[in-house]
Amino acid sequence: MTLFRARALDTPADPFAADPRDPSALRAGEDVGIVVEDGTITERDDFAVVRESHAGEAVIDLRDGWLLPGLIDTHLHYPQVRAIGALGMPLLEWLERCALPEEQRLADPDYASDVAGEFVRSLVSAGTTTALVFGSHFPVAVDALFAEAERYGLRITSGLVVSDRGLPEPLLVDPRRAASDQAALAARWHGAGRARYAVTPRFSYSASDAMLDACAEAAAAVPGTWFTSHVNENPAEVAEVGRLFPHAEHYVDTYDRHGLLGPRSVLAHNVHASDAELAVLAAAGTGVAHCPSSNSALGSGLFPMRRHLAHGVAVALGTDVGAGTGFSMFKEGLQACFMQGLLGAEGVPLSAAQLLWLTTRGGARALGLDEVGDLSVGRQFDAICLRPRTGTTLDIGLRHVDSATEALSKIFALAGDPDVADVWVGGEQIASAGLRRPIR
């Protein structure tokens, strides 16, 4: 067993369900004892209480930092690490000029393996321990991602991206081949360690009805797999999907009519959602990954979070690397807060506790991972310790806060990858004071 002593912040209860200004929305302990056995948190209480029953045990004292649950990113693209930072283009132009040329390079297994290494190390550096990841169009590259994630023990849900129209030819595959490639990858990786498989048509813009049927077939071939895609991101994309699917009721229906939406589905963006679409998502129990920095970078629009919540659609956050501008979920939370503010009365004024929930326990809920998301007894010990360098603005701010809520606000405003000092997944430390190393 391991006994941790820490200043800990987490959100075990959904702060959207209660009054967000209620201080109990954020659970903050100045001096918490956490006992971890075989990766699971088995005790948590004031340190003095936990100490009594573990008198002789060595203590890992983290009180010089801030202990948070491991961060959860519900939407990003592995082949786009090197495409981050292209600004000033709307979605379809950005795909054509930036993302898709880079994605074609992953046909080369050596290139893919290098990118997989960069991608996984970037997740760890940002303190992200769980992610729903858009894979590559090439099976060998998807294998490289799962293998690399396994070396670090990250909780990755991912899959082969499939398309049969509307993209450069090297990224296309016929639906029969897509069904068998997906089923083979799912059989190999779904449930292998912490990996799970997600059936992943890129978006209806690049998938025929036959391809979406093939996706449903692949999902049925390996029970328990997940489903992910994009929806309602950009007005030109939405209009083209309407033209391509004249019999669909709306964009969400292009997936729903193929039986692809359920509680194990997550759709990214949904910026331009109708009430009818939100009702379908809520009835299906499908979650939405809101990606605010991507929505800003591509000028996609302001996410209607209030309407999602009113319909009962589960919302979490994603970086959407590489349209998104980096791996930090703190930056994503901050951007979500800014953008909801810009919506005025139609926005949700997000509290620090809500940001933490959206980037931890809310993400776990959207991904159906009850074992992670906060630091309660029974959960896996997936955690990060923030320790800003002395003299940085975050360090100064945190040394002068009057409350845990104030500290958390400063963390979302100011924290970045260099502040993530230690990272644990399932009780195993995979990063320590800036050194990122695989554990197996």
Site residues, ligand GUN (CB under 6 A): 77, 91, 95, 99, 202-203, 230, 233, 294, 320, 323
Shortest Cβ 116–ligand GUN spacing (Å)? 17
Cite the DSSP H helix spans in 156-234: 175-189, 209-221
Q: Given the complex with ligand GUN, which of 240 and 395 has the nearer CB atom?
A: 240
Q: Given the complex with Zn ion, which of 237 and 382 has the nearer CB atom?
A: 237
Q: Given the complex with ligand GUN, which of 316 and 323 has the nearer CB atom?
A: 323
Side-chain half-sphere of 263: how many Cα atoms within 13 Å?
A: 5
Shortest Cβ 420–Zn ion spacing (Å)? 23
Residue number with the smallest Cβ distance to Zn ion: 320
Q: Given the complex with ligand GUN, which of 136 and 354 has the nearer CB atom?
A: 136
Inter-axis angle of helices 404-414 and 329-342, nearest 10 = 100
Shortest Cβ 432–ligand GUN spacing (Å)? 33
Shortest Cβ 187–ligand GUN spacing (Å)? 26
For residue 98, give the DSSP letter.
I
Q: Given the complex with ligand GUN, which of 122 and 294 has the nearer CB atom?
A: 294
Q: Report what 202 binds from Zn ion, ligand GUN, none; CB cut-off 5-8 Å by kind.
A: ligand GUN
Give the pair of three-digit tokens for residue 247. Answer: 């019999």
Shortest Cβ 293–ligand GUN spacing (Å)? 11
Shortest Cβ 136–ligand GUN spacing (Å)? 11
Tell me, letter by letter, the H, E, C secondary structure of the chain: CEEEEEEEEECCCCCCCCCCCCHHHCEEEEEEEEEEECCEEEEEEEHHHHHHHCCCCCEEECCCCEEEECEEEEEEEHHHHHHCCCCCCCHHHHHHHHHHHHHHHHHCHHHHHHHHHHHHHHHHHHCEEEEEEECCCCHHHHHHHHHHHHHHCCEEEEECEECCCCCCHHHCCCHHHHHHHHHHHHHHHCCCCCCEEEEEECCHHHCCHHHHHHHHHHHHHCCCCEEEEEECCCHHHHHHHHHHCCCCCCHHHHHHCCCCCCCCEEEEECCCCCHHHHHHHHHHCCEEEECHHHHHHCCCCCCCHHHHHHHCCCEEECCCCCCCCCCCHHHHHHHHHHHHHHCHHHCCCCCHHHHHHHHCHHHHHHCCCCCCCCCCCCCECCEEEECCCCCCHHHHHHCCCCCHHHHHHHHHHHCCHHHEEEEEECCEEEEECCEECCCC
Give the pair of three-digit tokens for residue 181. Answer: 């490639």
Q: Given the complex with ligand GUN, which of 323 and 423 has the nearer CB atom?
A: 323
Shortest Cβ 320–Zn ion spacing (Å)? 5
CA distance 270 to 85: 22
Q: Report what 419 binds from Zn ion, ligand GUN, none; CB cut-off 5-8 Å by kind.
A: none
Chain residues binding Zn ion by CB under 5 A are: 268, 320
Q: Given the complex with Zn ion, which of 81 and 394 has the nearer CB atom?
A: 81
Q: Report what 179 binds from Zn ion, ligand GUN, none; CB cut-off 5-8 Å by kind.
A: none
Q: Report what 233 binds from Zn ion, ligand GUN, none; CB cut-off 5-8 Å by kind.
A: ligand GUN
Shortest Cβ 237–ligand GUN spacing (Å)? 7
Q: Report what 203 binds from ligand GUN, Zn ion, none; CB cut-off 5-8 Å by kind.
A: ligand GUN
Q: Given the complex with ligand GUN, which of 271 and 369 has the nearer CB atom?
A: 271
Q: Given the complex with ligand GUN, which of 79 and 426 has the nearer CB atom?
A: 79
Shortest Cβ 257–ligand GUN spacing (Å)? 20
